[in-house]
Chain A
Amino acid sequence: MPRLTLTIDGRAVRAGRGQTILQAARSHGIAIPTLCNLEGLTPLGGCRVCIVEVEGRPRPVPSCTTRAEQGMVVTTDSERLAAARRMIVELLLAERNHTCAVCVMNGNCELQTLATYLGIDHVRYGFISPLASVDISHERFGMDHNRCILCRRCVRVCNEIEGAHTWDVGGRGAASRIISDLAEPWGESATCTGCGKCVQACPTGALFEKGAVATRKGTICLERLVEWRKRGEP
């Protein structure tokens, strides 16, 4: 039921009411890089990697949270956007200790893949090198705050799909940390069901499976899971 038409990168694109620019673009095969976005979860607009330019607006807008409007003229790729995306990812890399060589997800990391895609071969900014902790109190999983980019996929998947809301964000600004329950060790959490959806949703090596076997992510199709839940199927 397409109800409106907009222009993305010079192409006429049809979209349903309520659809975001990102959804409209993707349904027409136009790729926009994303990071905090995960199909099946409520869009957050947190990382700002999916920004696009909309004619008539002075600043780029996040395409994952901006609704498509009738007659909108959208540009998904320009020098200005590429420079902004590069800067965003470089700042993420400078904020914590993203040491790929010693990371469990090296080679299978969405942040690493995105940095490569954006052509980032070095970080121009000073590294903050914070002293971040690693929580391995859980029987099966671990949380390494050195690799966390605060995308809040884990928070959303735990709340929206598992319904446990074990994860949340504590602190402010650069000192923000993902916390379980009331900032207690994950292994002592009263609410965690041990389902592992947060590990599956995590784009980096922040959440990982313990053990000798490398963590495999992306094994759950969250989009389908959400559809089934909505239809009331088991």
Chain B
Amino acid sequence: MKQRIRLATAWLSGCSGCHMGLLNLHAGLLELFERCDLVYSPLADIKQYPHGVDLCLVEGAVGSGDNREMAEVIRERTAFVVSLGDCAVNGNVAALRNPRGKAATLNRVYPQPGGFTPDVPALGEIVLPLHHVIAVDAFIPGCPPAPDAIGQAIQRFVTRM
């Protein structure tokens, strides 16, 4: 009996399109989950990021304090961290606000006072790619990445274990 992979996926500042890319593996998912347990994911109702995760696919850039905390937790508890999609790889759409800065972006999106309440996670000054915040072991670029690229990356990790 081969060891089962403890697989996690996380969603930082992204649009969930990369997770849709993962779901677009369709029947490939069944094959995948013969060798993996999904221990944390926005696709599953699990509140705490567990310890001892083998592989984590991270979607989205680091755009807020919450994102940064989450990234650090992922790094601490995960053996192999993968940047999934262009936002995690280079900031992409999430980083479009960088040239103008945080204040100008907030004023543009929430022009009326009171339109923006401070009880949501505070935006960081700039949006960073994941590997500028934590060490990342592999990258799957694409917006969104091709389902086959995601499938092959996981498959390669699974066969290496």
Query: A residues touching B (Cβ–Cβ < 8 Å)?
Result: 93, 97, 99-102, 121-124, 126-127, 129-132
Name the residue of chain A whose CB is nearest to the CB of B143.
A101
Return B96 CB to nearest CB of chain A, in Å.
6
What chain B residues lie within 8 Å of A127 (beta carbons)? Answer: 90-91, 95, 98, 129
* Bound-state Cα–Cα, A138 to B83, Å: 40
Contact (A101, B99) CB under 8 Å given A121-B141, A122-B139, A129-B126: no
A-B contacts counted at CB < 8 A amount to 46
Q: Count B-side interface residues using an 8 Å CB cutoff.
A: 21
- A121 to B139, Cβ gap below 8 A? yes
- Measured CB to CB, the nearest residue on chain A to B131 is A122
Instruction: Verify B143–A131 contact, CB threshold 8 A.
Output: no
Chain A facing B: main interface SS: loop
By a CB distance below 8 angstroms, the chain B residues around A121 are 89, 139-141
- Residues of A close to B95: CB separation below 8 A: 99, 127, 129
Q: B14 CB to closest chain A CB, in angstroms? A: 11
Q: Could you pull out 5 A-B pairs where Cβ atoms are within 8 angstroms?
A: A100-B92, A100-B143, A122-B83, A129-B98, A129-B99
Q: Are B99 and A126 interface neighbours, CB within 8 A?
A: no
Q: Which residue of B lies closest to A101 (CB)?
A: B143
B132 at the interface (CB under 8 A from A): yes
